Structure 1
Amino acid sequence: MNKLTSICVFCGSSEGNDIKVIDDAFLLGEKMAQQDIALVYGAAKIGIMGKVAEGAITHKGKVIGVIPDFLKLKEVVHLGLTELITTENMHQRKMKMQELSDGFITLPGGFGTLEELFEIITWSQLGLHQKPIGLLNINGFYDHLLQLLENMVRNGFLKMENYELLLVDDDIDHLLQKMREFKPAQVPKWLKSDRT
């Protein structure tokens, strides 16, 4: 069983238009706090990002925000964070979030959310980490993405064992359990983390 003391959550800086996404984002933060799992995320108080943080903060959870200098002017940094870490750029932000986390969960979002998800999966595929990667598929938000990934497998561009690095569920408790039970494949370390 994997000990999850901290989880990095990737999600949108917009709220979207599905109330269940908003509610589940808050609920994820709440459940993490109740289970003593620190939240690592992008530091904003807006959008789905803010909802996850509010869920954790409301239930006295530890919340670590990581943000690059240039976004501090554009995004509204949450003032209730346990800790705020500032980085020089986006890549350092992702590296720091990865270092601080025992696992990752992706909620609905846009381009930035997908970029974070795919980079962290790629790092796992390359053997840079062996941490569980969860996808909370609220109301089927990621159904079409999963179909695309399955098509990549069918067409020989994605190995099944790499597809299976992504743990998918529409229920928070079930997803957390899958992450605790995740057993990484024994893959060679192609790269060292300082080469990303």
Structure 2
Amino acid sequence: MAKQFPQLEPAHREFIQRQRVFFTASAAATGHVNLSPKGLDALRVLGEKSVAYLDLTGSGNETAAHLLADGRLTLMFCAFEGPPLILRLYGRGRAVRRGSAEYTRLLASDFGGVEPLGARQIIVLDIDLVQTSCGYGVPLFEYTSERPTLTKWAEAKGPEGLDTYRRKKNVRSLDGLPTGLLDEEADGSGSPTA
């Protein structure tokens, strides 16, 4: 039932743009595998072989640590409304640091120049495989609204409080791996220098 594609087809792009939630999966060579839900209109299709999502401050920063350590990243989308479908994007990811030239360019070109309070980094996935599968086992859900909780939390913290929080909670992964979030120097791509 699964079908594989070397790149995003127009139908895949349309499907992605209709979804209200997606999931990220990453891992290093050892340690815990991370799986996270993402929403809040965070994802953009950059082209047939790449997507990016605006990553907001959260309780951990596992994806960034795993991308520094290994680079593998999978995104999964499920049809919770309409015809069943699961779409997975496999490839190599990287965290584009907030404030870097690439971050500023992506924010302007793909996110309308709007940086929500709590923005932490932009994760870019360079796709090497697209896979669809039936999704027959995914239940139907009705979307009602976005939760305002994360936005309210970030507003209550304010810019200084968010910076303090990231320094305390987002610099190392669950397994002690560095995330690169606060490295003092970065190369032009937004990735930490070696």
Kindly indicate whether structure 1 or structure 2 has the higher relative contact order, using CA contacts under 8 Å at least 6 residues apart.
Answer: 2
Tell me the TM-score range normalised by the shorter chain.
under 0.3
In the superposition, the TM-score normalised over structure 2's length comes to: 0.25
Point out the structure with the larger helix share. 1
Q: Which has more radius of gyration?
A: 2
In the superposition, the TM-score normalised over structure 1's length comes to: 0.25
